[in-house]
Structures are given as C-alpha cells and as structure tokens.
Structure 1
Amino acid sequence: MNAYEVKKLFPILDQQVNGHPLVYLDSAATAQKPLPVIEKIEDYYRRYNSNVHRGVHTLGTRATDEYEGAREKVRAFLNAGEAAEIIFTRGTTTALNMVARGYGDMHVQAGDEIVISLMEHHSNIIPWQQLAKRTGAVLKYLPLQADGTIALRDVEDTVNEKTKIVAVMHVSNVLGTVNPIAEIAAIAHKHGAVMVVDGAQSAPHMTVDVQALDCDFFAFSGHKLGGPTGIGALYGKRALLEQMDPVEYGGEMIDFVDLYDSTWKELPWKLEGGTPIIAGAIGMGAAIDFLHELGLEAIEQHEHMLVDYAFERLGEMEGLTIFGPDSRAGVITFQLGDIHPHDVATVLDAEGIAVRAGHHCAQPLMKWLEVTATARASFYVYNTKEDVDALAQGLIKVKEYFSDVLL
C-alpha cells in the first residue's frame, strides 16, 4: 500500500483548509486517525460498552477480552516479555510521572544522581526535577554535540556510581535525533542505574524492541501512532514494577480492603486504579494492528525518504536554517530568517499547511539552540512528496510576505 492509498484511509485529510487542500505536517504533536481505529472505537460504544474485569455478563466479558487483547498487542508491539509488564496509562507524561513517583520515591535518596539530556521534552524533565527536590538528589544533564546528538563518551563521563536513574528520549521531537538507547542503557546498568526511555516519538515510527534495548522502563502515547488521545502505556521490567507502589488508589487495583489496611492485585492491575480507559486501549490496539499491516520498517523507510526529499527542497532555500543532525527521524525543525515561527505557521496555515510553531515543550533545548522558538514539520504514513512540495512553495510565500524583515 503506497502513501496515496494510505492517505485515503484518513478521512480528516480529505478536506480543504482556507480554500486549499489540507497538508498535515504536525504528526509529532498528534497523528491523524485511520478508519480502522475510528470504526473500532465506534464498535465498542455501539455493541459492547461495559466496564471491564468486574462483571460476568456478556458485554462485560466482551469488553474485558478486547481490553486485555489490546494489552497483548502492546506487549507484542514492544516485544515485552509478558503482558503483565504493560501498564495502561493516560499517555507518555503519566507513565513517566508514574515511574518518578512509584519507583523514584522508593529508590532515590539525598546525594543520589539522576541523569537526563538537554534535548528532553518537558515531560521527561519536570518529573525528575520534582523527584530531585523531594529527595535531595542531584539532577545532571548530558551535553549535546554541535549537531544535536549525544556522544557516548559524555554518557561515560556523566553516569557514575551515584547515578540511580538515566532518563533519555528515544527520538527528539525537535531535532529528530535518534539516540543510542541500548548503548546508554549498558552504561547505566554498569553503574547500577535504571534506564527510562521516553518513546513518544519512536514507537509510532520504527520497530521498538524493549528487550534488545534492555531499557528498564519505556513510555509512549497512543495518539501519536494513530490511536485516540488520553491513552498510552508504560513498559517496565517485572522485577521493577513489582517494587513500585501504586500512584493511584481506589477500585480495580485492590485485592482486599479492610477498615485500616488494604492489599493490591498482582501486576499489571495494581498500577491501574479506577475504571480504565477502555475505549482508548481498544482503539490503540486497532492502531497497532494498522501499523503492523503497513509494516514498521516500511513506515521508517517512507519517512526517511520524505526527510531526504525535504532536505533537498529546503536545504538550499536562502535564509532557512534546519536544526539537528543529517541522519534523523521524520522531523524538520527550522527558522526562516528573522520571521517569527508563529508568523511562519500562520502564513502556511492560510495555504492549508499545518505545522507546529513554538518551543515544542523543550525550552532548555531552545536555549541551547539560542532561539526562543522554531517551526516544525513532521511526517507520517500519510504524507507524500507533494506535501513537501507544498511546504516548500508555502515557505516561498512566507518569504515574499515578510520580505521586508528578512536578513
């Protein structure tokens, strides 16, 4: 199935915006939803809407089977060892906070060190800042090379016997940098630290094997891979998840409740308090099925082709600066002369082209780049070379519109 055929499966893309065919280049923020996902969610609400685990009636059994079936799909998607190692969450942010609270509070003490990188999304900065404040631990940052990559020698120099947690994003949502997670994990483990991976930008775009990466925790969001919003997953090695305290207490996660004490269910349910995001999990399972049908390797190759073509079309445009390494995932982050990125995005939107503008929830990285904001085009399975051509033509119009302020 080529990109033009794939695009037809995304009904939202068949529309005009401001009198122009929609060109959606903001998939790093959220991906559009294919028909199989939309239909699967509708089917749940039409035919077997029910709570899971608690009832013995037919609808409850169907819902439970689909919900737990989605967990197994996530397990296979990440190549986790068992379904009990998959915890459903509201998304990457919730999953990372769950690790910082449920694992970090139990294992990090004053004087210990937490290591992250300068390229991290705020969701992989603030939980560790707060953990350091709660415990008296020291938060340290891996430096970046000039092209926005992490050098393993810097990891070796930063991680030491005091390090308890290393938390690094798999793929940068700004630079497109693909970090060497397996190698970083090996260094972390050599010093007795655990490896936490923000996989929000990798899981939708490439094959992820948590066992090959040997990460201890891996978090991702369903909406970035074509599933619904408000659902994601945390993978954790069983031994570490067993050590974690629940972050939310209430129904669903309990084994027995007495007047003054309670006990918890076994994994994964002890970490999933309350009525779960049932339709979201089922929809995310459908999105994973859809990606498997397309093939993760084919998706990755398609995005690399689009990035190469974007470099070809945009690379020689006068006044345009592209940030990040040459070898990258499907993200192009740029500045156009002295034009503010919000103005760039506004003019592009008038042409029906959706890009992201701002600090991309990565303000420390913006400071490192010596900018306050950038514009970002991000690609996915439904994008084509024609979308890149539209972006290039749109940027020419931006330059014409703001010609008086260009350098």
Structure 2
Amino acid sequence: MSDTPETNTRPWAVLLIFLRLGLTSFGGPIAHLGYFRDEFVMRRHWLSERSYADLVALCQFLPGPASSQVGIALGLSRAGYRGALAAWVGFTLPSALALVLVALSLARYAQAIAPGVLQGLQMVAIAVIAQAVWGMARALCPDIPRIIFMAVATCAALLLPSAGQITVIALAASSGFLLFKPRQGTPHEPLPITIRRRIAMLWLSLFCALLIGLPILAKLSANQALAQFDAFYRVGSMVFGGGHVVLPLLEAEVVASGWVSRDTFLAGYGLVQAVPGPLFTFAAFLGASMNGAPSGWAGGLICLVAIFLPSFLLVVGVLPLWERLRRNTRAQAALMGINAAVVGLLLAALVRPITATAQHAPQDLALALLALVALMLGKLPPWLVVIAGGAAGWLLSFF
C-alpha cells in the first residue's frame, strides 16, 4: 500500500524511508538501484517506470555514485532540498558510522586483532575489484575500440603514474568525443523534478568554483583538513561509473601522499563490502584512518561530506539541462570513452596489489582466487565472503 502524498512530502518521512534502505541495502550500486525501483516505483508509486529509468540514466551519465545520486534526486522530488539532504543522510549514515567505528578500532586495538585477518580482508578486496573489472569490462567495453581505450588507460596508469587518473579520463573523453558515434536516444517521459535554470546554473557554478578553487587554496595553505577536503571533492567530481571505480582515484590521493598505508587502504576496502549502503562511504573510513590531524570522527566527516558534495551540486544543477544532454550524441560519445578508460584504471588498481602479493605469499593469491570464485560462481553475498576471508587469513597465518 503506497503512502499518502502528504506523508511523502515531509523530510522526516523521506529520512525514515532511506534510513531503512541504508540499513538493509547490501550488494553494491546495481543492487541499490533495484531496491530503489522496488521501493519507489513498484510500492510507493513516486514515479513511473520510464521516469525512473531516465533518472538512472542521468545519474549514470554524471560523475559520482549513481545510486546515491538517484536517492538525492528522489528526495528532491518529494520534499525539495531538505528532502534531498534527508535521503542522503538516511542512506549514507549507517555504513558511514560503522566504517568510522571500525577505523577507530583498528587504530586503537590493532595489536589485539588476530594475525592474518587484515591480510585476508585485503585478498577479499582484490577479489571484489577483479569481479568489478570483469563485469564492467563486459558492459562498457563490448567492442575493439573500447577495449583499446581500456588497454591504453591501464598501461598509462601503470607506466606513467605521474600523469594522474584525471589526465587519463580527460584524454579518453576528448578521444571518445572524436571517434565514437552513438545512436540517437529513444523518446521518453520528462523527469518529475522542476528546478529553474537560473538556480541550476548557480549550483553548477558553485561546483566548478570549488573544483578550480580548492586545489589553489590547498596549495596556498598548509592546512591538512583543507587538503583532505580538496582531494576527496576532486575524487567525487571525477569518478565516472561510481562504485568500485572510486578505488584508483582514492588510492592515488591517500596512499601516495602517505595519509593512509596501503595495507589499511585495502583492508578497509574489503570491510566496506560487508556493510550496506553506498560504497563511497569508504571515504569515512579513510578520513578516520588518516595519519595526522584531522582523523577520527572529524576526519571521517570531512572526507565523507567532501566526496558526496559534488553529487548534490551536479544533480540539482544538471536536472533542468538533462533533456538537451540526453539528445546530445557527442556528449554520449565522450562518456563512452570515459567509461572504457575507467575500466582500465580499475584494472591497473587490481594489478598493483596482485604483483605485490605474488612476491610475498602465494597462498594469499590462492585465497583471493577462492574469494573471486565464491563471488562470481557461488553468488555468495559480499559480506559473507568478507567474514570468510578474514577467518581464512587468520588460519593461514599459522602455516
């Protein structure tokens, strides 16, 4: 039975609905979109099937976490800006709190953790990345030109790390714009959200001003909090594909700078598979695990807000322009190049820990392979594989 319109328009009602989803939505971004469809299209009838498909298409077109952006847009459509904030808080809060608590526990009680557990979690992370690479490659690199884009991006990330992932994405966008020729989109229903174009342009201007201004301010200031905010804001602004694609960009920002060790990074990425909600809450774990201030709760909050802020600004800024963008085949061509390149970046992020592990403990690679089989062939839920991986790492430490 669907809710009454009066109930749906209250921000607190939106908060409670998304809080329940944030507590129960396991399985990653694709699964989240399925939960949203069941909740808001089939059960509550907030929008039609076609409108929901268009909203998903828009959020996949934008950089950032697609499932969270869909949630923000749904909250915006029901209760305005407060509804958008309520939807984000409800969906994000459970996993963010859990990951900050885990990060604090690792920092304080690291010596009490059974040997091998963290190594096991790192191997699960490798398996999860491998599964993501395979699935995304099949969907986003279905032909020879896009496979070449993927291969070039992988080689660039491995051989020229100083070039940076943002440079690779920018080159892929410009090359895709020139080379690809996507088909014209099919007729569709307008999205059920109205924002004046003047207001939308203000939001987009703020997005661009922060993207340009934050790096300048971070270089002029020695404040690490500002540097963290800048790094996570840029990641949230440049991650096309969402979900696991965030891994190589975050690794480049926090591991290369020495803010977080590689072992902690991979262990946290394994743990984030065991909690519900958006994968981008990994930012809260990293912020709480920072070497130097701010860290803990303050660091987690700074990094969490920074990585999601671009999603807010882009959703409210691009919605009024979506009708024109949807028909623009050149914009779609650029996105095809970007999508192929981010698969390559993710593949490069997989190669690094595999090569490092192969030099130390072959049994760890065997554990990663078993985790991959459990995920892809056994279809086991990620949280269960994470628990089993930690236990297996502990057992292997005795041999």
Please state which band the TM-score falls in when normalised by the shorter chain.
under 0.3
What TM-score comes out, normalization by structure 1 length? 0.24
- Whichever structure has more helix as a proportion of its residues is 2
- Give the structure with higher Rg (CA): 1
- Whichever structure has more strand as a proportion of its residues is 1
What TM-score comes out, normalization by structure 2 length? 0.25
